[in-house]
Amino acid sequence: MRIAIASDHAAVDLKAELREHLIEQGHEVADLGPDTADRVDYPDFGYKLAAVVADGTAERGVALCGSGIGISMAVNRNPACRCALVSEPLSAALSREHNDANCIAMGARLTGPDMAKACLDAFLSTDFGGGRHAGRVEKLSNPS
């Protein structure tokens, strides 16, 4: 799977761990930055991640910041993106099964590396359930 990953300065270390985890699993990973822990603004990286998911360059996105809240808000500004902020594997799986999330967000200051990997694995291994959820998901990108 083609996966893009981006963070702010607070999540650079977690981003590096998750990038390696994804590569070890055989995924093609685009690291959208940043490369250092120098201060950056999370919206810039959230928008960059959303753009590559929206245009199909990446099939899924992983967005990280200190809490996960700010960068998830930035990603969700793009109507083609459905970014779920998660902190444990069940919510990660449900974000795919019920909401067809194409991006996941986590907070490096709130979620440790092992839990983040478990969330990411659940997110990537769960398919969208469709059915009764499909119409609701359609409304997320096309409100009436």
Query: Residues 58, 100, 43, CA angle at the centre, nearest 5°?
Result: 55
Tell me whether residue 98 is one of the annotated catalytic residues.
Answer: yes
Catalytic position from the list 65, 83, 103, 119 = 65
21 marked ligand binding residue:
no
99 marked ligand binding residue:
yes
Nearest to 103 by CA among 68, 72, 60: 60
Catalytic position from the list 21, 98, 103, 119 = 98
131 marked ligand binding residue:
no
- In the chain, the DSSP E strands lie at 2-7, 28-31, 60-65, 83-85, 103-107
Known catalytic residues?
65, 98
- In the annotated binding site, the residues are 8-9, 66-70, 99, 109, 132, 136
- In the annotated binding site for D-ribulose 5-phosphate, the residues are 8-9, 66-70, 99, 109, 132, 136
